[in-house]
């Protein structure tokens, strides 16, 4: 059965995030993911508060990375979250974003190796093993957790490029694909399948998550306006190969990036075309959004996360999604 999640960006208080998560649980969402950036509220503290105020919904960072948090620290964090939540924790793990690393003076070396080694260390620690490991990126000598999580915590790998998608299919319980368009999943699933088969698994063993930019409202103009701000940042950060896949010129994206770098957000948002919103988000009325979600499911997506902005008003958007999409797709 298809699962549905919500992404929360903790730009406001942890209390606010918990209130939204409670609402999402009430509306039938299955998962909640909290983004992990140093300039927002603490991800794991926010998740702990959400865990304390919810009963059913699964929760985790979407996503953390092993460069800013050592794998042993991540193991401790997610095991603690699993204990607090009574066995509902997930770990979203990815290579991190270049802009953040540049601002912090952190070098992102060998991302594929870093993710593979991190997952190996984290899983061993969560199993309660005494871990000694000497890798190219990480080493531990006799590391051990003094407690165990309630359950075997699923690890989701954030991936976009072909090699990372294949690695995610190989070592992940699920893959968080930061995309909203069926064309991206035609590309992604072939690589996820390749990685899964390398590990002796089938594609059905991997939870394929569409980690979307989403904006739903009964008024499509309001939905578009809310989505445009998020799409500006997506387009600005896209590699040329992804832009080409969607028919967006590198010069158009560079112009938006330049405006954002200068802090000229008004010009950046105005430069976002209808085509960009169509290619890099799911946006529109409930009926339009339902149709686009169904297209993703037809491509092999098994889990849809509604990400920022969700809609012009988050509480209204969650209810619309629940009433018009979750209820219809679950019968």
Whole-structure pTM value: 0.96
Closest CA to 189 of 297, 299, 279, 296: 299
One digit per residue, pLDDT tens: the chain, 331 residues?
899 999 999 999 999 999 999 999 999 999 999 999 999 999 999 999 999 999 999 999 999 999 999 999 999 999 999 999 999 999 999 999 877 888 899 989 999 999 999 999 999 999 999 999 999 999 999 999 999 999 999 999 999 999 999 999 999 999 999 999 999 999 999 999 999 999 999 999 999 999 999 999 999 999 999 999 999 999 998 989 999 999 999 999 999 999 998 999 999 999 999 999 999 999 999 999 999 999 999 999 999 999 999 999 999 999 999 999 999 998 6
DSSP string for 76-111: HHHHHHHHHHTS-B-EEE----HHHHHHHT-----H
- Angle at the Cα of 34 (from 121 to 274), degrees rounded to 5? 120
Q: How many CA atoms lie within 13 A of 208 on its CB side?
A: 30
Gap between the Cα atoms of 220 and 1, Å rounded = 29
SS3 call for 194: helix
Gap between the Cα atoms of 331 and 321, Å rounded = 14
pLDDT at 102: 85
CB 116 within 8 A of CB 198: no
Alpha helices in 86-219 (DSSP H): 98-104, 111-126, 162-171, 182-198
Alpha helices in the chain (DSSP H): 14-26, 43-53, 71-85, 98-104, 111-126, 162-171, 182-198, 220-236, 240-245, 250-262, 265-270, 274-280, 286-299, 314-321, 327-329
pLDDT at 330: 87
Query: Which two structure tokens, joined as six digits, stand for 134?
Result: 């000497």
Surface-to-core class of residue 156, CB atoms within 10 Å of its CB (0-12 exposed, 13-18 middle, 19+ buried)? buried
Q: Any residues with CB less than 8 A from the CB of 146 and at least 6 apart, and which? A: none
- CA dihedral of 165, 25, 34, 210, whole degrees rounded to 10: 20
Full set of structural domains in the chain with CATH: 159-305 (3.20.20.30)
SS3 call for 30: coil
């Amino acid at each position: 059965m298809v699962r549905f999640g919500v992404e929360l960006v903790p730009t406001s208080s942890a209390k606010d995030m918990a209130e939204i998560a409670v609402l999402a649980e009430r509306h039938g969402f299955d998962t909640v993911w909290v983004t992990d950036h140093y300039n927002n509220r603490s991800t794991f503290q926010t998740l702990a508060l959400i865990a304390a105020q919810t009963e059913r919904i699964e929760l985790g960072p979407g996503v953390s990375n092993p460069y800013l948090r050592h794998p042993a620290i991540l193991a401790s964090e997610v095991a603690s979250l699993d204990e607090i939540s009574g066995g509902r924790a997930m770990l979203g793990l990815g290579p991190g974003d270049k802009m953040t690393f540049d601002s912090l003076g952190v070098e992102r070396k060998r991302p594929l190796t870093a993710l593979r080694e991190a997952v190996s260390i984290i899983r061993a620690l969560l199993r309660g093993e005494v871990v000694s490991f000497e890798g190219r990126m990480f080493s531990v000598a006799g590391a051990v957790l003094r407690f165990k999580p309630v359950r075997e915590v699923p690890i989701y790998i954030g991936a976009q490029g072909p090699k990372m998608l294949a690695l995610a299919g190989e070592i992940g319980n699920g893959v968080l694909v930061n995309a909203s368009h069926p064309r991206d999943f035609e590309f992604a699933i072939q690589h996820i399948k390749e990685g899964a088969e390398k590990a002796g698994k089938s594609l059905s063993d991997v939870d394929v998550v569409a980690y979307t930019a989403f904006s739903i409202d009964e008024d499509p103009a309001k939905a578009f306006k809310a989505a445009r701000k998020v799409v500006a940042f997506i387009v600005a950060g896209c590699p040329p190969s992804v832009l080409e896949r969607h028919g967006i010129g590198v010069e158009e994206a560079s112009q938006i990036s330049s405006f954002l770098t200068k802090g000229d957000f008004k010009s950046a948002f105005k430069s976002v075309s209808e085509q960009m919103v169509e290619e890099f988000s799911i946006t529109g009325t409930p009926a339009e959004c339902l149709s686009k979600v169904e297209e993703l499911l037809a491509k092999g997506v098994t889990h849809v996360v509604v990400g920022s902005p969700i809609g012009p008003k988050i509480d209204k958007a969650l209810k619309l999604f629940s009433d018009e999409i979750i209820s219809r797709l679950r019968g």
